[in-house]
Every structure is written in structure tokens, then in C-alpha cells.
Amino acid sequence: MMAHNLCYCTLLTPDSLKTVDPEQVTTTPTGNKFLKSTVRKGLLPLILQELLGARKKAKKAMAEAAREGDTLKEMVLNGRQLALKISANSVYGFTGATVGHLPCLEISASVTAFGRQMIDHTKAMVEAKYTVQNGYAHDAIVIYGDTDSVMCKFGCDTVAEAITMGKEAADMVSATFISPIKLEFEKVYCPYLLMNKKRYAGLYWTKPEKYDKLDTKGIETQRRDNCQLIKILVETVLNKILIERNIDGAVKYVQSIIKDLLQNKVDLSLLVISKSLGKGANREDYATRAAHVELAEKMRARDPSSAPGSGDRVPYVMITGAKKTAAYERSEDPLYVLENNLSIDAQHYIDHQLHQPLIRIFGPIMKDAESVLFHGDHTRLLTLPAPATGAMAKFVVKSLRCLGCKAVIKSGSLCTHCLQDKAPEVVVGKMHELREKEAEYNRLWTNCQRCQGSLLQPVICSNRDCEVFYRRAKARRDVESIQESIKRLQIDVKW
């Protein structure tokens, strides 16, 4: 008899089966045989029973703390119950690992098979009982089931009715399971947007009066290797669709973001992508060429003292390049892009950052999502800044333009027409613009001072994984540009 365990069972070998009563054996859907708990309790079940019992106590205490209004205690207890949950889940994990302290694939395979069997059993019971033929308003449908959860659509008109039916169905199915297995009602999603496996979003209801939150699973809002723009975009779109119920507003918002991106109006800090140099700092350490690795090589060639090393995160943006240039060759340091006025590859961000998440959201609710979002009038105007460095920059002659009407002029700051009629208006406008940019820069500077813990010392932060770092650099550059324009005005206009 082997010392491996499933729930309250002990795994049996072919030889040990000959000495055991068949009535004392449980056969799993995978064909493995385990001794029942009435004969012998296993070690792992005892550990799991203790972990789950402690978690149940922690959740009960957390609910009491919430009723008393003790937020700190509630947060501590929530952390405890989550830690206990992870510990209990890891028991299944290490039995499925071939290299570890307690490897036993029979246990992990049987657990998965029993889980699948219980989901199928739940689906069959719910869809058999809640039907029009049995006197209900609609036929219930189980639309999704994964791991340890089942999502049922009862066709209810109100959230309160859905909560009642959900609790009733959970109790009905739980009565057919062996203790301590229990199916619990958890929440109602209304409205609910199911994209694909492990990707969904919806308003989370536990009480009929008001929804608790907008709940998302598997959506691109937390991953650090996505740019900040996609996180803001997805969150705003889901709010407009699920909370405001305004699909047209969500479409117009996406179109405006794509338009701004193509016209170079999106803040650079929102386009920064960050990835870690996990294997090493050199290109030779990687089997394939990656954008962040190539950028680390460029930065090392420019300044070895400030180049990222192994384990560091490398922030980068994608810039335009020659036709058929590989994507990994077009990655660049965001600060270098700001200082040299390089143009962002907007199409790369649309194709590789925005396209897939937006199609997943809009695809189920719009027939022509692709053409509406990524084609049309909002995609026809493209603006690229003139680079300050590079091979082509040597052949580019920047025209001097009037600060009032943008007409090309040979010298000075204003054309003849603006100098006579608009000079005071242009001066006031530039001074107002300067004040706004200086206020923005001062606000960001103070924010960085607070972050470093001193309002009396200059900011020495060089954290390139922080979006405020790039916004501050951009604001400083804008202030310098406007000051240069005002100097030009002082030559032509008498103050």
C-alpha cells in the first residue's frame, strides 16, 4: 500500500488491491483506485482539512470586521484567507510536479478528472430542472465552466431573482456531492461579457440593491509588458459598455484615441512598454532577438555606466524605421526619443497593442468591429515629427514659420500681416501657454519631490519605469521650446 493520497483516500497498487474489499475502494474517472476514508485517512487530506478550516474562520472574522467598520483588520484577514487559499491550492500543484517532494500524477490527474465530472454533473442537473417544461420562465443554460466554477444563465428579469435561483441551484447540486464538497453561490454578473476561456468582464453583484464592482478576469489591465495606454483604454471602454451601457460612446472613444495616436498627440509616457532582462544582459544570452534586449545593447554602446543589467526592467517605445525593418530593431529609449524628437510607430501600437484586446471586447457585440474601429475617417490623417538626429536629418532643412499663422517666413518670428495685426494677441497667447506648461512642470516636479521624500532637495530620480519621469522630461522640453519662441518674439515685437 503506497503512501499517496487523494482527498480522504489512499492510492492502491495492483498487488494491494487483492487484499482489499472492493466496497472500500473508490475508482476515479482516470481509472486510478484509492482507499476510502472510512478505512484510512490520508496525510494530504488532513493538511487540506486544516487549511480550509482556517480559511473559513478567517473569512468569517473578515466579515465581522467589515460589519464593525475596522478596515485595517479586514485587510489583514483578507490577506490571511488568500494566503491559506494559495497554500491549499498548491497541494494539488506539487502532486502534479514530477520534480518535487510529493510527486504523484495519479492524484493530480484524478483531481482534474473529478472536477470536470462535477462540472458536467452540475450542468446536467441545472439544465434538466430549470426549464420551461417544469414551469420556469426560461430554459437555463450553463454558458461557462472552468476548474471549480460554473456560470449559469437562468434568463431572469432581475438581479434579486437571479440570486435566489443561484442559491437554490447551488443547494440542489451540493446535496448530491460527497461531504465536504459543496457548491456555493458566489455572485451574479449583470451585464456580462464573455470573450473566451478565462477572459470575461461584468458588473459583480452579491446583493440586489447595488453592484459591488466592475470585475474583470484575464483582461489587459495589469500586465506590465502592456503600455499604459491599453490599460486606460480597456478600463474606459468596459466602463462605458457595462456601467454606462453606451456602446456608441465606447466606439467614439476608441476612434478618438486611434486618431490621436496617428497624429502624434498621445503622451509618450502612455506608450512605454517594460520588459525584464531575465536571462542576462547580453544579446548572446537569448535564443531569439527581442526588442528590450536590442535596446539594452544600444544603451550599452552609448553609455555603459547607465545601461541596464541582468534582472533590470528595460522600458522602451517603438519608433518608425525603414521599410521591412524588424520590430526589435525599432525599439528605443523613451528619453532618447523625447530629446531627439523621434516619431512613434503608431501603426505598430495599433496592430500589436490595441487590436487584439479591442476585438475581443467589441467582437461579441458588433458585427463589423474591425472596420468601424480600425478603418474610416479617423485613420486617414497621419502626423510625423521631423527627427533631430539620424541620416535623413542631415538632408532636412527646417523652415522658419510665423508664430501666428504658421506661414513660412525667411527671418524673425512673425510674418508681415501678423506683425501688423496680431502681434499683441500672439504675445499674450505664448505667455499664457508658457504659464500653463510651467505650472505642469512644477506640478510634476513637486510630485517627484514628494516621492523621494524631500521638498527642499532637487529631484535626482532616474526611475525609467515611472511614467511621471517621462512626463516631466516632456514638460521641461515644452517649456524650453516656448521660451525659445518668446525670445524670437522679443526681437520683432516691442514690449
Grid cell 500586465 in the structure block, residue: 223
The domain limits of the chain are 5-106, 130-218, 243-379, 399-492
* Core vs surface per residue 284-307: b (16+ CB within 10 A) or e: eeeeeebbbbbbbeebbeeeeeeb
pLDDT at 288: 77
Q: pLDDT band at 13, cuts 50/70/90?
A: low
pLDDT at 7: 41
Tell me the mean pLDDT in the region 237-261.
94
Tell me the mean pLDDT in the region 333-361.
89
pLDDT at 163: 93
Grid cell 510529493 in the structure block, residue: 102
Nearest alpha carbon to residue 273 among 329, 216, 231? 231
User: pTM value?
Assistant: 0.78
* Core vs surface per residue 108-145: b (16+ CB within 10 A) or e: bbbbbebbeebbeebbebbeeebeeeeeeeeebebebb
Listed in sequence order, the residues at least 6 apart from 376 whose beta carbon sits closer than 8 Å to its beta carbon are: 255
Checking DSSP bridges between strand 273-276 and strand 213-217, what pairing results, if any?
Answer: unpaired
Instruction: Answer yes or no: is pLDDT of 1 > 50.
Output: no
Tell me the C-alpha distance between 332 and 477, whole Å: 18
Q: What does the mean pLDDT of the chain come to? A: 84
Instruction: Answer yes or no: is pLDDT of 468 > 90.
Output: no
- Is there a contact between 230 and 360 (Cβ–Cβ < 8 Å)? no
pLDDT at 17: 59
Angle of helix 355-362 relative to helix 247-262, nearest 10 degrees, comes to 170
C-alpha cell at 424: 499683441
405-448 per-position pLDDT tens digit: 888 888 888 888 888 888 888 888 989 999 999 999 999 988 88
Helix (H) or strand (E) holding 152: strand 149-153
DSSP three-state, residue 272: coil
C-alpha cell at 80: 490571511
Specify the CATH superfamily of domain 243-379.
B family DNA polymerase, thumb domain (1.10.132.60)
Tell me the mean pLDDT in the region 380-403.
69
Q: What percent of the chain has pLDDT over 70?
A: 90
Say if 130-218 and 243-379 have the same CATH topology.
Answer: no
CATH architecture observed for domain 130-218: Alpha-Beta Complex (3.90)
Tell me the C-alpha distance between 32 and 12, whole Å: 8
Tell me the C-alpha distance between 250 and 238, whole Å: 8
Instruction: Answer yes or no: is pLDDT of 365 > 70.
Output: yes
Grid cell 446583493 in the structure block, residue: 207
**Omega before 180 within 30 of 0, i.e. cis:** yes
Q: How many CA atoms lie within 13 A of 73 on its CB side?
A: 13
Query: How many C-beta atoms lie closer than 10 Å to residue 278's C-beta?
Result: 11
201-205, 386-390, 467-471: lowest mean pLDDT where?
A: 386-390
Instruction: Answer yes or no: is pLDDT of 353 > 80.
Output: yes
111-145 per-position pLDDT tens digit: 888 888 999 999 999 999 999 999 898 999 999 88
Q: Topology of domain 5-106, per CATH? A: Helix Hairpins (1.10.287)
Grid cell 420556469 in the structure block, residue: 136
Q: What percent of the chain has pLDDT over 90?
A: 32
Nearest alpha carbon to residue 312 among 336, 338, 333? 333
DSSP-assigned states of every residue in 283-310: GGG-SS--HHHHHHHHHHHH-GGGS--T
DSSP three-state, residue 252: helix
Q: How many CA atoms lie within 13 A of 35 on its CB side?
A: 23
Nearest alpha carbon to residue 7 among 60, 120, 32? 32
Q: pLDDT band at 24, cuts 50/70/90?
A: confident
